[in-house]
Amino acid sequence: YAQKGSGRRSAYYTDYTFAVKNEDKLVTIAKAYSGLTDKEIMEVSKFVNKNAIEKFGPVRTVKAELVFEIAFEGIGFSNRHKSGVALRFPRILRWRKDKTVDEIDDLEEIKKLIQ
C-alpha cells in the first residue's frame, strides 16, 4: 500500500506498507516512511500512479513488484498485522531493484528472528 505524505511531501507517495510471503499470499508486516532519497520517492510515486489497482480514500493498493530492504530496532508478535508480526521502528534501508517479489523473505523466516 502507498499513501501520500504531508508537508513538502504531500504531492508524493512517501508512506508505504510492506509485506512478506506467507505461502502463496502476501501479508503486511510494517509501515515505513523514511529511508528513500527524494529521487527515489519521485520514482516510487510515478510507479504508484501508474500501477494503483485499488483506492481506499488516500491509500492506494499497488501491484506487488517493488522490493525494499527494511531495517528495524526490534521484532515481536502482534495482532495488529495480518502477518502476526510487528517490526519496531522500521525504516527503508534500500530499494532492491536487483530482486523480484519471488525473492522476498518468507513469514516463517521472519518469525525465527523473534526470541
User: What domains sit in the chain, N to C, each tagged with a CATH number?
Assistant: 2-111 (2.40.50.140)
Query: CA-CA distance, 17 to 80, in Å (whole number)?
Result: 13
pLDDT at residue 93 in the model: 97
pLDDT at residue 115 in the model: 72
Q: How confident is the model at residue 52 (pLDDT cuts 50, 70, 90)?
A: very high
Q: Is 50 helix (H, G, I), strand (E, B) or coil?
A: helix
pLDDT at 80 over 90: no
pLDDT at residue 19 in the model: 93
CA quadruple 102, 107, 112, 113: dihedral sign: positive
Query: CA-CA distance, 112 to 4, in Å (whole number)?
Result: 33
Cβ count near 56 (within 10 Å): 9
- Is residue 77 classed exposed, middle or buried when 0-12, 13-18 and 19+ CB atoms within 10 A define those classes? exposed
